[in-house]
Structures are given as C-alpha cells and as structure tokens.
Amino acid sequence: MGDFPTTARVVIIGGGLVGVSSLYHLAKAGWTDCVLLEKNELTAGSTWHAAGNCPSFSTSWAVMNMQRYSLGLYKGLAEEVDYPMNYHVTGSIRLAHGPNRMMEFERAKSMGRYQGLDLEVIGLDDVKDRYPFIELHDLAGALYDPDDGDIDPAQLTQALAKGARAMGARIERFCPATGVSRENGEWIVHTDKGDIHCEKVVNAAGYYAQRVGEWFKPFGGRTVPMAVMSHQYFLTEEIPELKAWTLEQGHKVPLLRDVDSSYYLRQDKYGLNLGPYERNCKAHWITPDDPMPEDFSFQLYPDDLERLEWYIEDAMARVPMLGSAGVGRVINGPIPYAPDGLPLVGPMPGVPNAYEACVFTFGITQGGGAGKVLAEWVTEGETEWDMWACDPRRYTDYTDADHCVAKAVETYGHEYAMHFPWHTWPAGRDRKRSPLHDRMLAQGAVMGVYNGWERANWFAQPGDDTSEVATQTWDRAGPWQERIREECEAVRDGCGVIAISGFTRLKVEGPGARDHVDSLTASRLPPEGRIGLVYFPDSRGRILTEMSCLVHGDGDVGLITAAAAQWHDAEVLRRTAPEGVTVSDHSAEVECLLVTGPKARDVLGPLTDADLSLPWLSVQYDTHVAGKPCALIRVSFAGELGWELHCATEDAPAIYDAVLGAGAKPFGMWALNSLRIEKGYRSWKGDLSTDYTLLQGGLDRFLDLEKPADFPGKAALQAEGQGGPSKRFVALRVEAGDQDAPYMSTLWHGGEVVGETTSGAWGYRVGHSVALGMLRADLATPGTELEVDIFGRKCPAVVQPDGPIWDPKNERLRA
C-alpha cells in the first residue's frame, strides 16, 4: 500500500485496449506521471472477447485516419516494445451485391488512396483468385484492402502496457475507481486502495462508461449517450480443406465481409470465425429485470444462435465449407454503442479537465489512433486531425435512454449500411420539435434531424414517393429533385420561408464580456446594431468555429451558431472566461424564420413595423411581425434579399402563418444547401474544420490579424500570411453526371491528387453542379481545369473566380 500513487498528472479509468493505448500515447508525449486504474485484469470488458479484426475501411474521414494510424502502429509495436503478438495481415475482401455498393467502394478507395491506403476495387475473377472457396452468385464486385487482418486483442493490450510502463507510466490492476471529487481545481479519484489527486481524468471505462460518467454530473456532466449491445460470433472446428490450402499456400485466406448480408467471415487457425450484425439484435442491461452487474469482467451472455440462423445459412451458401465443420465455440459478449456507432473521444461535455475515450464499437482497429487522439486532447487541447465525428460534444441534451437504445439497435442492425445523402434514419426521432412541426407536416414536409431538432428537408406534393426505399441512392434524381428545384426557384424569383429551428444562441455577459470574445477570435467584432461573422482559430490558426456576433455593449455579447455546435461552442467561450463573465444558452427559447427572395420586402412590408430599408447586416430588436415581438436581422444564408426573424417560440406559428398568407413559399434544408453552395457559404465541420487554417479557408476578409487583442493562433496566422497558405478554398463548376461531389472527393490535376472537395450540390440558379473544396495554392486560379473523383468517375471541373458563383457582386443581397 505504501507504493500506491497518491498524485498523478492524469488518471485513466479503465484498462481495456483504448485506456492502455491512451496511457501509452500520453507517456510517449512526455507525460509519464500518469496512472491507469483497472478494476480487474487488463483487457477485462469488451477487449478480451473482441474478434480482433483490423479494417482500415471507413467512409468517415476522421475514422479512416484513426484506423490507418492504428494499423501502422501495430505493425511495428512488437519490435518496439519487445513483446510478441499474433498479428496476421491477411487482406480483406468486401463483397458488393449491386451498383450502389460498388459506388460506395469507389468512394472509399479514393479517400483511402488520399490517405496512403492501397484500397482496390476488384472484379469477380479476382475475388475467386484470392478466395477460392467462395461462391459468386448475386455479386457485382468487391473491394480489396491489403492492410486488413486480425490481431490478438490481449497481446496488443499487453504490448502497449509494457511500452507505457517502460516509459514510466503506472498501471494499477485490481483497483476499481469508486468515484471522483474536486478540490482546489484538481480532481481526486477515489479507490479502495486510497485517493489519487490529479490534474486531469479520463473515462475509458468501456461498457461501464455510463456508470463512471454519472460521477461527473455534480461537476457539470451529463449521462453518457450509449447502450450495450450483444454481439455474437462463433468459431468452427478445424476444416481439413482449409488447413490443407493454408499449409500449401503458406498464408491464411483473406478476411471476407459480405456487407450487404451483414457479416464477416475470418479464418481462425484452421477453422472459420463467423460474426453477423443481425437485424433482430438485442440490447442488454436496459430494463429492471436485466440490470448491469457490478462486475462482468470476463463473463459472456448465454449463447443465442437462433438469432443468427439466416446469416449462418447465407454464409454457408457463400462459403460452403463453413457448413462442413461443427461449432467449436460461441462468443456472445457486450459491446457499447453510441447512437451513431462511433466512439466518444475528446473533452467531456461541461466538465473541466475531464475527457472521454469510450463507447468503442470497433475498439481494436481504432484503439491505436484513439490513444493518439486522446493524448493530443489532454496534452495540447487540440488534435492533429479534425475529430468532430467522434467528439463527445456532438450529442447534446436529446440523447435520453430510449433514444440511445433505439439508435443502438438500429445502428447495430445496419452496421454495414450505406449512408446515402438523401436518407434519414427513422429510429429515435422527434426528440425536439418546433411549434411549427405539425403545420409543416400538413404542407408535405419531409423531415430531417439537426442536433435532435426536426427540420423540413423538402416539401413533397401529393403523389410524391416519400418512402425510405426511394432515398437509397447516391443519385441526385429522386422525388425530391423537382421539389428542390421549385423551392430554389421560388427563392430566386419570389419569396421563400424556412424554419431553422434549434440555432445555438449563447449570451456572454458581465464586465469585460466583449473583450473576452474579442480575445478568442481573429475577426473584428461588429459595431452595435450590426451583425458579423467572426472566426475562432485554435493555437495553430486552424478553423475552430464560426459564429454570428451581435455586440450589445461592453458587458453583453450575443452569438448565434450552428445547432450541432451547441455544446462545442459554449465550451470555446467558457473555458477561458474571466471571473464575472458568464456564458448562458438560450437556444430553446427562440425560433428563427428566414424570409428571403427578391419579393421578401413585399411580403414582410405589410406585416411589420420594422424599417426594411436598413442595409444588409443591420439588426432591429424592438420590432413586430404579425403583431408579435421580433428581432429582424438582414442576412440570408440563401444569398438573396432577406431577413432572419427571431421570435419567441410560442409566437412562431402566428408569424409563420402570416408570412405564408402574404405569399411566401415554404422551402427546406436541401434547397438551402444548394443555395448556400452557389454563394460559396461554408458549412461548419464540412467546409469549416480544424483540417484547415483560416487563411486556407479563404476567410481573409473576415480577419484582422493585426488587431491589438492577442487571440489563439495569431502568430501562426501572421507567419502563414507572409509565406502564403499551401491550400486555397475554391468553388468549382463540375460536369458531374448523375451525382454531385460528396465530402472528401479527391481533386486531380496532371495525374496527381491536388486537393479535395468539402461539399457539393446541384446549383438550380446557375444550372450546373457546384463543388466547394481545398486546392493546392498554385492551382487555385480561375480557369484551372481539374478532375473530381465522384464515385470512381473523374468528372471535369473548372476553378471559378474568387467569390460567389451566383450573384458575384452580392447585388441581390443588398437590394
């Protein structure tokens, strides 16, 4: 007991792969005074029973980065720490049953090649050559990943643990954390062996993360958004035919994934491992008669192979030798799921100096990268790659238990599903509805979800196909296409109205509030009575976030930002707020209607006492629309004459009805996306992310790099300004065919990759496909001819002049 550590710089709670990887990477960063607590033995929990598959494949840029790093780390880890590991790089084959899946593979191949991965789309002859035991019925092709394979999770964890210990980090096994408290700005982690005082703490508790998360609620925390799913796979007995082939060839067969049928099939010694993700899946520990046990460290659920019957039969038809061997062992263990199936890695929402590295569904292949990312968050406060896809703050207050279970069941049952641009997942809906919701449904609104808020994506007419099946396409064409065109044309020629429910609204108040905001942004704050976009850099000058700013005085600043940025941006403002300055959230109190189009003044004029002659970017607070109090802000994300109407939530129906009655046409988010892309307006965490600096993002006109205030990244941006950015934001005219460029489509010039798109859509006002992107600076000149890789087709594109493609002089905005 005398050797028990009573102080540490960081305490990590949880000794699975991700927790140990976090410790290893912290030590590698020079933070060796760190302690990991494990209630049992290392790997207890999900790690020990994990299948150990190691794909690099993902259609998430952030997740692919994380997995790519992991596989590179694992290849050299055994030699680095002198700990032998069973790591088999067998390659993998993902099967496609139709053209949509082949298009997804082409997209993943392009993304992978950009990251240095040798993904390859192959035909059926190549599939048979690489996997001779397969039947090819109903297949269209496949994706081959030469870096895929499998690793022993326990050996991997122990290797990382050995490396961490060798650098000076501590691991305390059989030492459960029992709670946390806070004193004099530091954390105290309580254990049965004693207390540890530390600067920072990490929740890496796997499927116990929600229970550990409850300890942080008194300090500003929330319930960790997750559920625990039962994942079942089985190992066959030895198969003589497979053994003979393996001995003859000197290697194992590739890992096989039939993603349309939803299972993986992997060689395990001389047998096979079949792991389905079944639609009729099961969540555990969600009802009073099935409580989470205090300790489930090395336990499993009872076998339940009946759930897998269809998948087993399908796999035996695909690889008949699977049916020639008996079942050797069944593994049915718990796996944590966040609502979207991606992990939580980053700052714990609302809690100072606390972090999460938990809820990993594919923790083995992501564990190495997760440790790297977590260590960067802890030691630097920012990460090399933009990791918003895995940031715990992406979820806010709508993720109650029912929502988490519904989404986990949906996500697990569609683990290999394609994420089509027009498709919205039906589970866990209607968490936040505006008072206009029923009105919009009656008008034909087809809804989407934005930070839990239901917003209209498009408005269907009688007879339009609004089924989920209709949305399962990468193509632009669908029942929505004509409606989006009509909505865009209404905004172009007349007047449209859209309800943008759930805008994040933050107030910074107290002595020095204006100076505090000014110290965080590289932009000039607008004068009172005006609104302006302000950009917040990180320490490297990268784009942390964008907010619309309204200064009411030295002690009162209002900020409006994206719905999804609610908890992220509040933390940006709070974490360095001086004493006496508060940040409060008023998002749920206000509704926003955008009324926009060349006839917007005609529509609003008879309804309001506001002065509609005031210029673009002007703000009027004490006005009325349809007799209801309203603030009018003369801006339009659609790029037309327009005003945002900000009113009390309960007053929105009367105002909405009046605006419609005066001739406005409702339009949805999909039309707004098309309209904003034509104007070159950036979207947060698409065009605006920490993968790019403010200068690369083409935001120069919003910046004042010489202003007196010292803001994060000032020196980095000034240096970049002198040397010039390596990339430049561009708008492209694209000959796109049937699909528009999705996020992270590669840009080609002269046979080499020179950039990537950040968003794309058909421009209904300009009559062609438009993409926004980042391009090598020397090529970012108007008229440069490029190619955009859109689902494997290289489509011609031309760099457009700097500024909006539609209404380049902003004459319509200022009318």
Q: What is the mean pLDDT of the chain?
A: 97
Q: Is the pLDDT of residue 774 over 50?
A: yes
Distance CA 266, CA 62 (A): 26
**Mean pLDDT value of segment 710-738:** 97
**Mean pLDDT value of segment 214-238:** 97
Q: Is the pLDDT of residue 155 over 70?
A: yes
Beta strand extents in 204-353 (DSSP E only): 227-236, 255-258, 263-268, 271-276, 283-284, 327-337, 344-347
For residue range 473-526, what is the model confidence (pLDDT) as tens digits?
A: 999 999 999 999 999 999 999 999 999 999 999 999 999 999 999 999 999 999
pLDDT attached to residue 439: 98
Distance CA 661, CA 577 (A): 45
Nearest CA among 68, 48, 49, 70 for reference residue 57: 68
pLDDT attached to residue 736: 97
SS3 813: coil
- State the DSSP H helix or E strand holding residue 800, giving kind and residue range, or none if neither: none
Distance CA 150, CA 70 (A): 12
For residue range 662-700, what is the model confidence (pLDDT) as tens digits?
A: 999 999 999 999 999 999 999 999 999 999 999 999 999
**Mean pLDDT value of segment 208-224:** 98
For 348, the token pair is: 């714990």
pLDDT attached to residue 1: 41
* Percent of residues, the chain, with pLDDT higher than 90: 99
pLDDT attached to residue 2: 57
Binned at pLDDT 50, 70 and 90, residue 355 comes out as very high
Q: pTM for the full model? A: 0.96
SS3 10: strand
For residue range 296-321, what is the model confidence (pLDDT) as tens digits?
A: 999 999 999 999 999 999 999 999 99
Q: Is the pLDDT of residue 40 over 90?
A: yes
pLDDT attached to residue 308: 95
pLDDT attached to residue 163: 98
